[in-house]
Amino acid sequence: MEEIKAEGRTGYKFPINCTNMEEHHQEIINTYGNKIRVRVCGLLFRNSDILLVKHLTIGKNIFFYAPPGGGIDFGESAEESLIREFHEETGLKVRIKSFLLTHEYLEPPLHAIELFFEVEEIGGTLSLGKDPEMGLDNQIIKEVKFWSLLEIKKNDAGLFHNIFRLAKTKSELLNLKGYFLHKGND
């Protein structure tokens, strides 16, 4: 893909059809904003490392790391959605182990109800996937990688999903139960 000279503060070069951050932000808002989205997210561990997807975002940071997942399609169960989303984003096939928690993200223009599950890997090959809701030239998924929880802790908390502020260890993450709200700059 051809790149232009515009560069974000992290060194990311914006694709030719996304000439500035405002244009990129607007596409994300048009796709995901100003509506309530019901999403599913999966926590997949290899030993003590957790799989995260690096997304372009509209927040104060250019990038955001979150567990794989995405929107539930009409007529699809939450579990079916998570299995599909996991494969689309990471190339991995997973099985649902258990439901963990509900997380609500409310920072207009984005508002999401997220259902978190523990999953286990049953096949596939880890690879950079795609977000079918975004155009091929404007993909927001930039990396899939297993992270140690220590690596996450050493980085800016604002770069990672709020769930990592609620729990610091694998055991704590897998034992989170209930409803959690992230509102505005909480």
Burial grade of 134 (CB within 10 A; 0-12, 13-18, 19 or more):
middle
C-alpha distances in angstroms, 76 versus 6, 32, 54, 70, 81? 40, 19, 25, 12, 6
pLDDT at 147: 98
Which of 150, 140, 162 is closest to 53 using CA atoms?
Answer: 140
pLDDT at 61: 75
Domains and CATH numbers, the chain: 18-183 (3.90.79.10)
d(CA 154, CA 80): 34
pLDDT by position in tens, the chain (length 186): 333 333 333 344 444 344 556 666 666 666 666 688 999 999 999 999 999 999 887 667 788 999 999 999 999 999 999 999 999 999 999 999 999 999 999 988 888 999 999 999 999 999 999 877 766 777 778 999 999 999 999 999 999 999 999 999 999 999 999 999 999 765
pLDDT tens digits, 55-88: 887 667 788 999 999 999 999 999 999 999 999 9
pLDDT at 140: 77
pLDDT at 178: 97
pLDDT at 59: 66
